[in-house]
């Protein structure tokens, strides 16, 4: 009607609203939660903050939330294992017997053994 797209209208409305106080309040809540649970991930943190956001009328999407945390260096890096975790035989589940015990191969290709437990599923 006014030769503006609805996207331009909503961007203009959003640009007029000051968001700095909301961001500061939001970051304070993130830090409060992280004080008790230091290694909680961003996605779970966003779900946990839903009641807080509803109470304070804060509307923020996942990508904006991640960007906000990234700008303030509040994202948690994923821990990497130094080496792959292989077979752990000290469990109560059924263990298959080692069929290669005592077998001495006489030629190539007579005995094939593999361990795929390090492959993440």
Residues contacting residue 40 through CB under 8 Å, at least 6 positions apart: 33, 34, 48, 76
Question: pTM of the predicted model, to two decimals?
Answer: 0.52
pLDDT (tens place) for every residue of the chain, 121 residues total: 567 788 888 877 776 554 567 788 888 999 999 998 888 888 999 999 999 988 988 888 888 889 889 988 899 888 777 777 677 778 888 888 888 899 999 999 999 888 777 777 7
Q: Where are the alpha helices (DSSP H) in 56-109?
A: 62-71
Contact 95, 89 (CB under 8 A): yes
| Among candidate residues 89, 79, 78, the one with its CA nearest the CA of residue 117 | 89
Instruction: Give how far Cα 116 sits from Cα of 77, 92, 93, 96, Å.
Output: 27, 20, 18, 14
């Amino acid at each position: 009607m006014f030769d503006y797209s609805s996207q331009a209208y909503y961007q203009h409305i959003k640009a007029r609203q000051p968001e700095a106080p909301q961001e500061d309040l939001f970051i304070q809540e993130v830090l409060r939660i992280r004080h008790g649970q230091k290694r909680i991930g961003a996605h779970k943190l966003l779900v946990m903050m839903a009641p807080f956001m509803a109470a304070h009328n804060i509307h923020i999407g996942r990508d904006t939330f991640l960007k906000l945390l990234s700008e303030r260096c509040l994202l948690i890096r994923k821990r990497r294992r130094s080496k792959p975790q292989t077979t752990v035989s000290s469990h109560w589940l059924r263990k298959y017997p080692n069929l290669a015990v005592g077998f001495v191969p006489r030629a190539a290709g007579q005995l094939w053994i593999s361990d795929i437990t390090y492959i993440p599923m």
